[in-house]
Structure 1
């Protein structure tokens, strides 16, 4: 089997230079990349650079090598087309089926998955025309990544920044894997909310009650959902991980803050996946100054009070008709029995049950679990990358959303 064939389309924005890093990651991971820059893109990065980094000629003109019909053949032979950066002009042309250069011709002839990584000024991204164009492309099955928030050209700051090339690469990798299985943007048009990480309940300005969750499983769920075309809101509790490209990230610290953020985001969500490890208890009293150690004096016991049960609340309220709720249960013994009892108690549709401790699950890149369904189903997921478990969860969610 040959190398996966990727077409990297580059349109004319200042972020074109960042596409060089994406190209490097694609080629170094074993992909055969053909770069198709627009004429405007060549003002930012020259043809020689693209050819040198890809190891292939950079295709720029419809009229070059006419006997090979490049405007048809390049798209026909691709396993993935990624346009990065995608300007407002490129999104408009793609949405309306225009074909006035080699890249837009390639987009029309491609029958493989297509990913757009927009980059532009905030006002351009938020303009109704651009939003409609992005929505049209998503309806047709393309993955249009939400731009990042940050510094733009000049002194401007806002949403429209080119996403992290490393994260775009991860999205492309997931899209390619799904495309090889014959499944692409099957969550297009869906809004999903994912919670990740572990809450911290402060005792004083230096100490807190917390847990060992790294957030890796929740971030894998967010990343795979983006690659499958969903609009993703990630409620992140103290996770020290790069933002998944295309996800709107809401940062929280405590269980109370997480509850507020999840309830707000879930108002129009098709599915809510509660992967965060939410502390069951918090200190009853917060001490504004550091609690000092005093010789010969034992510390006062720390009184705990219950935190809100966010999973049970969201399962009981269902803020949108047909909303699906997925919970997670980390168990140390009687995993399935405790998981089934928790599923019944919480009232969610699916519960991902996994065994933790002794280096399992927390902080690692792998996970093993059983997904229990309220309908009595049990779906075992063998030990493997956390993204593999994430895809199984989204498969089960998609199946239930379309019933």
Structure 2
């Protein structure tokens, strides 16, 4: 077995958390490649090191009057790492590293460089503590001249480097462009690094260790004590991630999916929990008809109505071009014979709503145009729905019983998900009603 293990910020926020991670790694010889994040929050009121680095770099780029504040912030960051070093009983000294950081900050090396130092320094400490080799991600994670991730080059360089390195720590979140300039992924990108490394070493498993025991059927801030998901497919996860489920960075799926490598979401604080297994496909029957429920609030809808629009070639294209010209992304687009409705983020749309309305009138001359705001979209996702009759009916029944008015319902041809539109104020009631009828009534 060959496993890649990634530990999130909360899993490496302190010396005590480092020790937990090390025990997990040392318990299984197959855990050979480790991807650390930067130290996260030690307490709810604490600050993540990445946020501290962003602030420190901003101070470094300001006038000399902020010099003292800059030094204080840099010292605070240093103190976080010194605290971990002391707690682990390590003899390593990061003085030279912080001298380099100070110099680079003064040279305005960029926000990406600044943010990456959290993972970089944590990687050095983790490698020292485990006795593993340290591989700087800037040497093996490649971006092109435009700052786009270079999949092929990275896989070649990383595979070659790690083929001679049986055990290594590779910091997450960043890489470098051809000239050596550090480039980061989007926030939470250490998940992506772990997936990239798993692909490069042909891992049997990619374990992603965090502070929760896998994915839950629903958001615990909406549903009280929701059940955990044992197994979920990549397709189901994509649907849930798109609609707000955030345990794993959604782009982390792609590298391992190409290789058929499963991802296991585990809890550093409860390592005995099996967590959630993410796979390409499975014969295992889900515990419930649905796999998960996720949603987002604050959408607006624009309904365009015109008689015989279905016979007018290019009608939808003309409408969508209006949104493209105004740089407004479209979230969902259910349609009927003579109507089409476009869901967009309300905050994006409000500034340009009159331009969009005028553009639609010029482009397609609608018979009627209606706007609605303060809407929420909820995705009910599950591979079990395909083989179960009456899923939509049960959703309607549950929402009606909860006195929730359904503004829109749309089922994809794959029968993997059903999208429901409701008012913002009905958001929690709708999710709880759906959860209750598919989960609580099945227990």
**What TM-score comes out, normalization by structure 1 length?**
0.26
With a CA cutoff of 8 Å and minimum separation of 6, indicate the structure with the bigger relative contact order: 2
Greater percentage in helix: 2
Greater percentage in strand: 1
**What TM-score comes out, normalization by structure 2 length?**
0.24
